[in-house]
Amino acid sequence: MSGMYRDRYDYDRQTIFAECLRAWRVNPIARRIVKLISMFIVGAGIEIKSDNKHTDKFLQDWWNHPLNRLSQKTVTFCDEATRSGNLFFLCTADQANGMLYVRAVPADQVDQIITAENDVDQELAFKPRNPDVAAWPAYDRTNQQSSFMLHFAYNQPVGVPWGEPDLAPMLPWLGRYASWLEDRARLNRFRQAFMYVVTGKFADRAARTAREIEINANPPQPGSVLVADESEAWTVLAPQLAAHDANEDGLSLKKMIATGAGVPIHYLAEPESATNTTAQSSDLPTFRGLEQTQKYFCAILAQLAVIACGYRHQYNRLVLPGSHIEAIGPDMTEKDNASLALAVSRVYPAVSEIFDRGGIDENEFLRLVYRMAGEVQPQTARHSDMLKRPLKAAAPQSAKPPKDNSSQAAGDLTQG
């Protein structure tokens, strides 16, 4: 299936990779888009954690190892994924202590992805563009390899081993916008230019030429005063280009770029006529898309961590690759925290009251609270054998008042 029409030709793919890298280097908007995605996905940094103490200790050592420095390279990995749509990690295991070293390989250095004949998803090896370098073997879960390569694809069509860069659909529009902006700057420069036209009565052509040479040798300076006799008339000739009318064209081109990037146009230094209300409304689809990308990127890092723990487990049995390992990224926006906190504070009293009355069990109560908080319920909070206990202490029963026998005593006295 890798030879289907939906896959790119090799030369076309290499051209796309080269053009995306060049756009990132020379085009400010392309650079801004790539940095925006990294700012939201990685932010101040991504953390690797495990619920096992020994596993977590190894992960921190592996994450910050001087030969890995993955905490500093996550931004580079995210940028590469945006530019090329593919992440290739060449991993080497230290045979002395089981430490796994990770190196990112540029996508344009991989010439071919060799897959199984009957399954595109089963990657067997990666052929480099350099013919002097042997093919890199793919990761084999059943065999402890000293060196192997991992591949992760973004925007991957079904049945195709390669991913597609996010910048690829924007390349034509980035080029058109750059050409339009350059032409507009050039036209505006000439729109401000003007020249003098001197009309006069000259005896012959030689006299006219001599006068022209004299004026060109001493052109009038801005703000100077020109004095001419009756034989000369000075006028100014300026081009009528009306370059300001092209503003709508530039805005349309920039909207196409913003649409391809999946961000509002005001993220690209174009306030247009947007108000705060429209800006907030456009944030939701932007954050949803970025959150989806962040989830996939964190899953890639978590998979790398699991493989690293698997190699370390051969030398230290306390490191458990089967423990819960996750990569935690930053929040997309602080606005969500305030909204989620408000949602939890409003729903908690009602849900807790239902729980105390026996309307729902503890698992359902926790599910609703975590859902309102926008978080995933931990596995430890999903056990069906959890004890059902009330959230509020039962109100103490008041002692019964003593029986009033005053009326009975009064009757007895009357009868006596």
**Residue 127 bridge partners (DSSP):** 112
| Residue 236: other Cβ atoms inside 10 A | 8
The reply to whether 315 and 342 lie within a common domain is no
- Whether 168 has a pLDDT exceeding 80, the answer reads yes
Share of the chain above pLDDT 90, in %: 42
The reply to whether 214 and 108 lie within a common domain is no
The reply to whether 219 and 319 lie within a common domain is no
- The answer to whether position 94 is within a domain reads yes
- The answer to whether position 222 is within a domain reads yes
The reply to whether 350 and 317 lie within a common domain is no
| Residue 31: other Cβ atoms inside 10 A | 14
Per-residue model confidence as pLDDT tens digits over 118-130: 898 999 999 999 9
The reply to whether 164 and 57 lie within a common domain is yes
Rounded CA separation 338/321 (Å)? 36
| Residue 399: other Cβ atoms inside 10 A | 6
The reply to whether 55 and 133 lie within a common domain is yes
- Whether 342 has a pLDDT exceeding 50, the answer reads yes
- Mean pLDDT (the chain) is 82
**Band of the pLDDT at 184, cuts 50, 70, 90?**
confident
- Whether 395 has a pLDDT exceeding 60, the answer reads no
Are 106 and 128 in contact by the 8 Å Cβ rule? The answer is: no
What does the pLDDT average to over 362-375? 82
Taking the whole predicted model, whether its pTM rises above 0.75 is answered as: no
- The answer to whether position 409 is within a domain reads no
Residues 6+ apart with CB under 8 A from 76: 104
The reply to whether 25 and 120 lie within a common domain is yes
- Whether 332 has a pLDDT exceeding 60, the answer reads yes
The reply to whether 43 and 119 lie within a common domain is yes
What does the pLDDT average to over 243-269? 78
Q: 201 is in which domain, residue-wise?
A: 194-237
Tally the C-alpha atoms within 13 A of residue 307's C-alpha that lie toward its C-beta: 27
Per-residue model confidence as pLDDT tens digits over 5-28: 556 777 788 999 999 999 999 999
- The answer to whether position 4 is within a domain reads no
The reply to whether 213 and 96 lie within a common domain is no
Task: Give the residue, 329 or 190, on which the prediction is more confident.
Answer: 329
- The answer to whether position 187 is within a domain reads no
**Band of the pLDDT at 217, cuts 50, 70, 90?**
confident
The reply to whether 211 and 227 lie within a common domain is yes
- The answer to whether position 127 is within a domain reads yes
The reply to whether 46 and 109 lie within a common domain is yes
What does the pLDDT average to over 359-378? 80
- The answer to whether position 377 is within a domain reads yes
Amino acid symbol at 308: A
**Band of the pLDDT at 400, cuts 50, 70, 90?**
low
The reply to whether 229 and 93 lie within a common domain is no
3-state secondary structure of 374: coil
pLDDT of residue 293: 92
Between the ranges 131-140, 347-356, 358-367, where is the mean pLDDT highest? 131-140
- The answer to whether position 201 is within a domain reads yes
Task: Give the residue, 211 or 411, on which the prediction is more confident.
Answer: 211
The total of structural domains in the chain comes to: 3
